[in-house]
Amino acid sequence: MSVRFEIRMTPRTMYSFMLHHNYTHLPGILSVVFGTVILAMGLKQAESGKAASAVLLFFITVFVLAYPPVMLWIRAKRQVENTPIFKQALCYELSDSGVKVIQEDRVNENPWQDFQRAVSTEQALVLYMDKSRAVIFPRAQIGERWAAVAEMISTHMPPDKVRIRQVN
């Protein structure tokens, strides 16, 4: 049995992946906590009538909480635009032997053992090869094959490495 589908990487898909990756790891979580603490300090300063320090803390809060997502969007857009493989659609085939990527006359196959973990996000299913390399399958582009893709991954990867929600 195999499942075959075509994916076209978009900046929005890449951004969604980068947001998820950033804010599910310690540095991203700490930045949100840090920004929230600074916001609370700013509110406390505003309550006590110290307008200058409150405004400064609010600017720092905006920088700490808003800057990373904006920069992630810029990086995602740039990465999709500057990566030659994303210029054309990628055809994926998931089979018992692994994940095959086909584009024009190039074929690359990775056995299931190459993948460390699989996670689903609101917008995609992600297969991690290591901490810096992943294969992203956008939910909208997989369409009705979502359940078959999730089943294929769950069948061929160790259960403790698979975090896929909403299979249907």
- Which tens digits make up the pLDDT trace of 125-162? 999 998 878 999 999 999 899 889 999 999 999 999 99
Identity at 97, one-letter amino acid code: S
Q: Report the pLDDT value the prediction gives residue 93, as an integer from 0 to 100.
A: 94
Q: Report the pLDDT value the prediction gives residue 143, as an integer from 0 to 100.
A: 87
Residues of the chain under the 50 pLDDT cut = 168
Q: Report the pLDDT value the prediction gives residue 122, as an integer from 0 to 100.
A: 82
Give, in order, the Cα–Cα distances in Å from 31 to each of 59, 60, 67, 82: 15, 12, 11, 28
Q: Report the pLDDT value the prediction gives residue 135, as an integer from 0 to 100.
A: 92
Phi, psi of 112 (to 5 degrees): -60, -30
Q: Report the pLDDT value the prediction gives residue 168, as an integer from 0 to 100.
A: 46
Please report which residue ranges of the chain form alpha helices under DSSP H. Answer: 11-23, 26-47, 51-82, 139-142, 146-156
Q: Report the pLDDT value the prediction gives residue 166, as an integer from 0 to 100.
A: 63
